[in-house]
């Protein structure tokens, strides 16, 4: 048989909304992300669909025999769902599929697809024998083999037609229409009758059994679940297989070293095969997403294989099994932490983000803005980067963030030391050992206190006494080649200029000072502990795959030290175990060396039990005048919803080439889908309102000279408070030297102008430049030529980029880190200078209020290395949707039409007035809002009765947070009837009365602690099947509660009933009174 495999020919066309640019040059370009010329638009993609089934046609007999495949062997269709392993041989058999399962691909060229040979373009299938070993293949004839037969009585006709209606289509003798809609012998196999079991070589196979299916000699047998037995109308006996994938059969390929060999992944691919293909029965165990490590270990030793995820081809997705495919085993995730702070978490608090390789903070800034617009308060608590100027910029714009200027590997070492320090100071419970150099006891502290007092009377010499510890780091801060754990010490009696870094072993005499520092840092979240982080984001640099590196290791890029940061990034994720992971990188991650690093990264995530998916997003598709394609990889723990990719919001001019094999990972619309997108943006939309400046502009701040002239300009000039700003930062260009400035001044101020317009340059018919022999070479006052030699020879004389002038109706391929005009088009349309830092920042979507720190070239570098803010904002919206449990099952979703906008955040969907010192009663008009989804009025001074008795509003509300106020009165019944309500936070108020019945089952979190609620718990609690957290701590609830009340709540992980007058009754009717 033939196992499904990946092939570009099987993919459904998809596209970005493309606008054809007015081309200025038609020669190849090398100074772009993809080293290609302007490329326009469609993309092909794999599409999820129904199972595809197939059978051999008689016309393929001769071809099959020539490949050594007998008639009795079955083959699979060229389906939408195909594997991504070894795609090296041509499909040798004709197949039959349902017309609705596979979309006919038009015979058009894709501008996205690179030129590749035939083996890359289509026909990428692997044809393998499936005849059972030690036995000759059976021919497909109307003769039953006594060793391989469908057994028992057939399933009743009525039941069979109900379960498998597609097998009983009247008027279709052997199937439905073929792939191209024409009458053909390739048809969906029609059934005469169905069976519930089969006997093959003495073994009885039942429906839902797992089995090995014969592969080619020397290959591992395929793995499947049997989901159908039937006899076709022509008498051939079939089973339908739903396939499992080994890790090496997925996009991961040969990077499966992080994944247990017994672990497989359930696919949605199904196809039909002759029953003589079955080899043996298997025991494959589904592992619940909340299984303990001990449970997994037990499973591994008592099964042939186990599975805890599905593998879906669209966007290379690994997704946890749905809840109904599992049973409760443990309240903990499979990604568990060794740290236990010993307290119930407040799920209403802000969500914490760690930004690794943060640069100036563009990615985390966008993520937080997007999450906040969806009603999730995501805050960048920690950031790490090696560039000191980038760290300074991040500190300036995010004073709430702990910014660390150090190697990521040193940061990881520090995190491990910090856990040990916290354990030594009894701040956390953990299986981690205390720090070997910190032993804190009361006796030692008292002795140290006494010694400190006596030391002041010592007149024999100067005694240095530790005043306080200021900072902690891991590394070699003193540059003495002695890496380790160091504390920054302020010496008693000395100022900050005398502060020094001291190793921990040099501070052995003052453990109390260390304990004070650690306790203070723990309280202030100085460093994250495992389980503290909600989101880790970052783009680990992989300079070893850069096109500028002529010595790239194509065989094993991970052996190149320049790519090791990918491992460091994943090691930090493995240590901290965040709920979500988002990694960004250049397209070379999946383009270079057969996508080595992209496959490796996915393997690391899946090996750590994270759900994962990978997509490519173009910045221009989210409202910027640049293309800039980047790879984004999501990860999520098994208990969370895996975030979706946001579909484009704008039309875009496409510039670049997408790797053919990963073309289907492009976040785009299906070909032919009707689009209602915002128009594409050009340079004029982004920059036309900015003041004119000279080449030598010295100011870092200046006023605006014009009002905004476009929606883009209006939005990007809004301050953090939603009001138009008045001060413009960083609007100054790189100052060109005298020679370059004089060259720029002679470039005509017209569209498409560049060095080719200078005297002495002639363009040949092949679009390459040469010197005009009739024109004497022009010299500058310095004696250097007006047209430099490097401009003439760049890309063999075929490029028009040197000293190129941009124009208002153009876009740029990507914002780069350098501002020199020698080999790129970066000159302002009307001014004799390169684009300023602020102009580049706008092309990246930075708000105008975002001020940068450092020398001019460093600021250009910060902007060029950043993630485009609108892309990060869209991903943040998606992330927040997942955090709230609202993500869909598909890999893509559409953003709101108004996204992004301050109005959406403040009025349309969310109301966030947390900690605003609000006084008095809540206005009754709030309860009549119809579109609001999220309402947060926590931590204010609100008082009085809060709820009306009836309301017709709030039907879209999914989160209501009123905690930490002085509200009173009863909670009306309509609160528990809101159709979409998922989170209810009313804790720390003065609510009284009894709880009404719960009439909806959407609630996930109920926080009612510290109120004055009374009476029995309503039995309707047992209907809240989605409930995960119920906290009724410290109320006046009373009565007996049978534990059966909670037996249906399979997802419940936090139940707090203490400090009430409740008695729990177990199955044996033994009462247990809670404290």
| Same domain as 180, residue 279 | yes
Q: Exactly one of 303, 368, 542, 907 is catalytic; which is it?
A: 542
The yes-or-no verdict on residue 107 having pLDDT over 60 is no
Q: For residue 921, what is the enclosing H or E element? A: none
Does a structural domain hold residue 477? no
Q: Structure tokens of 1032?
A: 């009724």
- Which pLDDT does position 898 carry in this prediction? 80
Q: For residue 264, what is the enclosing H or E element? A: strand 263-274
499 DSSP assignment: -
Which pTM was predicted? Answer: 0.74
CATH of the domain at 90: 2.30.30.490
Q: At what angle do helices 565-576 and 596-607 cross, to 10 degrees?
A: 10
Q: What is the C-alpha separation between 370 and 845, in angstroms, rounded?
A: 13
pLDDT band at 49; cut points 50, 70, 90: very low
Q: Which residue has the tokens 């039941």?
A: 159
Cβ atoms within 10 A of the Cβ of 916, count? Answer: 12
Q: What is the C-alpha separation between 46 and 248, in angstroms, rounded?
A: 19
435 DSSP assignment: P
Q: Which position has the higher pLDDT, 55 or 13?
A: 13
Q: What is the C-alpha separation between 354 and 578, in angstroms, rounded?
A: 9
In sign, the C-alpha dihedral spanning 614, 619, 623, 627 is negative
Strand partners, 246: 264
The yes-or-no verdict on residue 711 having pLDDT over 70 is yes
- Cα atoms found within 13 Å of the Cα of residue 676, Cβ hemisphere only: 5
The yes-or-no verdict on residue 552 having pLDDT over 90 is no
| Same domain as 357, residue 270 | no
| Same domain as 914, residue 881 | no
Q: What is the C-alpha separation between 755 and 747, in angstroms, rounded?
A: 7
Does a structural domain hold residue 524? no
Pairing of strands 148-151, 197-200: antiparallel
pLDDT band at 544; cut points 50, 70, 90: low
Q: What is the C-alpha separation between 179 and 185, in angstroms, rounded?
A: 11
Average pLDDT, whole number, for the chain? 82
Q: What is the C-alpha separation between 196 and 162, in angstroms, rounded?
A: 14
Among 817, 835, 853, residue at a domain's last position = 835
CATH of the domain at 664: 3.40.50.150
Strand partners, 583: 538, 633
Does a structural domain hold residue 847? no
The yes-or-no verdict on residue 332 having pLDDT over 60 is no
510 labelled catalytic: no
Does a structural domain hold residue 492? no
- Which pLDDT does position 695 carry in this prediction? 98
| Same domain as 973, residue 1047 | yes
Cβ atoms within 10 A of the Cβ of 1055, count? Answer: 14
| Same domain as 988, residue 882 | no
Name the residue among 527, 524, 541, 525 with its Cα closest to residue 473: 527
- Which pLDDT does position 654 carry in this prediction? 82
Strand intervals (E) in 1012-1067: 1012-1015, 1029-1031, 1036-1042, 1054-1056, 1061-1065
How many structural domains comprise the chain? 4
SS3 163: helix
> Percent of the chain scored above 70 by pLDDT?
77
| Same domain as 972, residue 886 | no
Q: Taking a C-beta distance cutoff of 8 angstroms, is the pair 129, 73 a contact?
A: yes
| Same domain as 361, residue 278 | no
Does a structural domain hold residue 687? no
- Which pLDDT does position 131 carry in this prediction? 31
Q: What is the C-alpha separation between 26 and 942, in angstroms, rounded?
A: 66
Buried b or exposed e, range 648-658, using 16+ CB within 10 angstroms: bbbbbbbbbbb
766 DSSP assignment: T
Strand partners, 242: 225, 270
| Same domain as 118, residue 187 | yes
Q: What is the C-alpha separation between 607 and 613, in angstroms, rounded?
A: 13
CATH of the domain at 744: 3.90.120.10
pLDDT in tens, 769-825: 999 999 999 999 999 999 999 999 999 999 999 999 999 999 999 999 999 999 999
| Same domain as 249, residue 309 | yes
- Cα atoms found within 13 Å of the Cα of residue 265, Cβ hemisphere only: 29
> Percent of the chain scored above 90 by pLDDT?
60
Q: Structure tokens of 645?
A: 């990719």
Name the residue among 883, 877, 932 with its Cα closest to residue 347: 883
CATH of the domain at 1043: 3.80.10.10
Does a structural domain hold residue 498? no
Of 55-59, 568-572, 708-712, give the lowest mean pLDDT range: 55-59
Burial of residue 286, with CB atoms counted within 10 A of its CB: 0-12 exposed, 13-18 middle, 19 or more buried? middle
| Same domain as 744, residue 641 | no
pLDDT in tens, 431-484: 899 999 998 655 544 544 554 444 444 445 567 899 999 999 999 999 999 999
The residues near 824 (Cβ < 8 Å, ≥ 6 apart) are: 31, 801, 802, 804, 816, 818
Q: Structure tokens of 388?
A: 């000191």
Does a structural domain hold residue 861? no
| Same domain as 827, residue 951 | no
| Same domain as 882, residue 821 | no
Q: What is the C-alpha separation between 249 and 13, in angstroms, rounded?
A: 24
Among 835, 852, 885, residue at a domain's last position = 835
Q: Which domain holds residue 181?
A: 8-323
Does a structural domain hold residue 963? yes
């Amino acid at each position: 048989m033939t196992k499904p495999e990946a092939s570009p020919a099987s993919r459904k066309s998809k596209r970005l909304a493309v606008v054809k640019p007015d081309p200025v040059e038609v020669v190849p370009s090398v100074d772009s992300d993809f080293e290609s010329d302007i490329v326009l638009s469609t993309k092909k993609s794999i599409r999820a669909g129904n199972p595809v089934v197939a059978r051999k046609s008689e016309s393929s007999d001769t071809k099959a025999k020539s490949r050594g495949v007998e008639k009795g062997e079955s083959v699979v269709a060229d389906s939408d769902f195909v594997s991504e392993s070894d795609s090296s041989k041509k499909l040798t058999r004709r197949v039959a599929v349902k017309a609705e399962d596979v979309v006919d691909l038009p015979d058009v060229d894709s501008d996205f697809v690179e030129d590749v040979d035939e083996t890359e373009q289509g026909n990428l299938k692997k044809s393998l024998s499936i005849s059972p070993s030690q036995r000759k293949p059976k021919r497909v004839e109307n003769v039953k083999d006594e060793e391989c037969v469908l057994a028992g009585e057939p399933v009743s006709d009525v039941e069979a037609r109900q379960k498998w209606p597609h097998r009983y289509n009247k008027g279709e003798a052997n199937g439905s229409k073929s792939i191209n809609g024409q009458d053909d012998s390739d048809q969906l196999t029609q059934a005469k009758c169905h069976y519930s079991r089969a006997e093959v070589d003495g073994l009885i196979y039942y429906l839902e059994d797992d089995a090995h299916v014969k592969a080619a000699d020397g290959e591992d047998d395929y793995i499947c679940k049997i989901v159908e037995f039937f006899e076709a109308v022509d008498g051939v006996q079939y089973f339908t297989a739903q396939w499992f994938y080994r890790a090496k059969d997925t996009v991961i390929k040969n990077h499966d070293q992080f994944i247990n060999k017994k672990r497989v992944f359930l696919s949605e691919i199904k196809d039909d095969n002759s029953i003589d293909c079955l080899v043996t029965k298997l025991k494959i165990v589904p592992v619940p997403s909340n299984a303990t490590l001990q449970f997994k270990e037990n499973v591994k030793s008592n099964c042939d294989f186990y599975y805890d995820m599905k593998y879906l081809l669209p966007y290379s997705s690994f997704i946890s099994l749905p809840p109904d495919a599992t049973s409760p085993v443990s309240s903990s995730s499979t990604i568990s932490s060794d740290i236990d702070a010993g307290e119930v978490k407040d799920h209403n608090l802000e969500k914490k983000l760690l930004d690794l390789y943060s640069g100036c903070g563009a990615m985390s800034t966008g993520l937080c803005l997007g999450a906040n617009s969806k009603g999730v308060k995501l805050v960048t608590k920690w950031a790490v980067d090696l560039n000191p100027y980038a760290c300074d910029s991040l500190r300036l714009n995010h004073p709430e963030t702990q910014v660390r200027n150090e190697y990521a590997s040193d940061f990881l070492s520090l995190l491990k030391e910090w856990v040990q320090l916290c354990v030594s100071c009894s701040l956390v419970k953990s299986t981690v050992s205390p720090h070997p150099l910190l032993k804190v006891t009361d006796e030692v502290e008292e002795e140290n206190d006494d010694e400190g007092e006596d030391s002041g009377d010592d007149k024999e010499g100067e005694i240095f006494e530790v005043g306080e510890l200021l900072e902690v780091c891991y590394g070699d801060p003193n540059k003495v080649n002695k890496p380790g754990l160091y504390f920054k010490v302020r010496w008693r009696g000395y100022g900050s200029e005398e502060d020094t870094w001291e190793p921990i072993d040099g501070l052995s005499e003052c453990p109390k000072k260390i304990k004070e520092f650690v306790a203070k840092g723990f309280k202030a979240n100085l460093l994250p502990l495992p389980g503290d982080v909600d989101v880790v984001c970052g783009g680990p640099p992989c300079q070893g795959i850069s096109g500028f590196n002529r010595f790239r290791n194509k065989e094993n890029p991970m052996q190149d030290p320049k790519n090791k940061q990918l491992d460091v990034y994943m090691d930090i994720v493995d240590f901290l175990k965040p709920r979500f992971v988002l990694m960004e990188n250049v397209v070379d991650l999946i383009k270079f060396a057969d996508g080595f690093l992209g496959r490796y990264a996915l393997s690391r995530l899946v090996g750590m039990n994270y759900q994962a998916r990978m997509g490519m997003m173009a910045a221009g598709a989210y409202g910027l005048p640049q293309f800039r394609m980047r790879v984004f990889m999501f990860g999520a723990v098994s208990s969370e919803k895996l975030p979706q990719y946001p579909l484009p919001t704008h039309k875009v001019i496409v510039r670049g080439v997408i790797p053919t094999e990963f073309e289907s990972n492009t976040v785009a619309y299906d070909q032919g889908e009707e689009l209602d997108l915002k128009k594409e943006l050009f340079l004029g939309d982004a920059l036309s309102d900015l003041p004119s400046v000279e080449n030598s502009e010295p100011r870092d701040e200046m006023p605006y000279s014009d009002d905004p002239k476009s929606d883009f300009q209006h939005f990007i000039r809004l301050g953090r408070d939603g009001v138009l700003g008045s001060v413009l930062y960083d609007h100054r260009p790189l100052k060109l030297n005298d020679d370059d400035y004089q060259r720029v001044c002679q470039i005509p101020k017209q569209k498409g102008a560049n060095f080719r317009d200078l005297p002495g340059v002639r363009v040949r018919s092949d679009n390459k430049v040469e010197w005009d022999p009739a024109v004497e070479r022009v010299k500058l006052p310095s004696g250097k030529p007006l047209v430099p030699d490097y401009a003439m020879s760049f890309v063999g004389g075929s490029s028009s980029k040197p000293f190129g002038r941009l124009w208002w109706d153009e876009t740029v391929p990507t914002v780069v880190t350098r501002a020199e005009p020698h080999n790129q088009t970066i000159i302002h349309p009307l001014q004799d200078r390169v684009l300023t830092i602020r102009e580049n920042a706008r092309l990246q979507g930075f708000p105008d209020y975002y001020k940068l720190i450092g020398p001019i070239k460093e600021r250009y570098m910060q902007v060029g290395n950043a993630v485009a803010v609108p892309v990060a904002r869209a991903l943040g919206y998606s992330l927040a949707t997942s955090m709230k449990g609202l993500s869909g099952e598909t890999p893509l979703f559409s953003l709101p039409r108004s996204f992004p906008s301050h109005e959406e955040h403040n009025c349309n969907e969310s109301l966030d007035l947390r900690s605003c010192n609000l006084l008095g009663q809540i206005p009754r008009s709030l309860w009549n809002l119809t579109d609001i989804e999220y309402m947060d009025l926590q931590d204010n001074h609100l008082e009085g009765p809060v709820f009306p008795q009836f309301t017709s509003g709030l039907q879209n509300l999914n989160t209501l947070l009123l905690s930490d106020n002085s509200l009173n009165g009863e909670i009306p019944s309509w609160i528990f009837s809101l159709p979409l309500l998922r989170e209810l936070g009313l804790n720390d108020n003065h609510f009284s009365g009894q709880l009404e019945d719960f009439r909806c089952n959407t609630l996930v979190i109920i926080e009612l602690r510290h109120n004055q609620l009374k009476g029995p718990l309503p039995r309707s609690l047992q209907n809240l099947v989605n409930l995960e957290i119920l906290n009724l701590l410290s109320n006046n609830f009373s009565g007996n509660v049978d534990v059966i009340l909670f037996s249906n709540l399979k997802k419940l992980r936090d139940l707090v009933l203490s400090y009430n007058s409740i008695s729990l009754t177990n199955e044996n009717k033994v009462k247990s009174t809670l404290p």
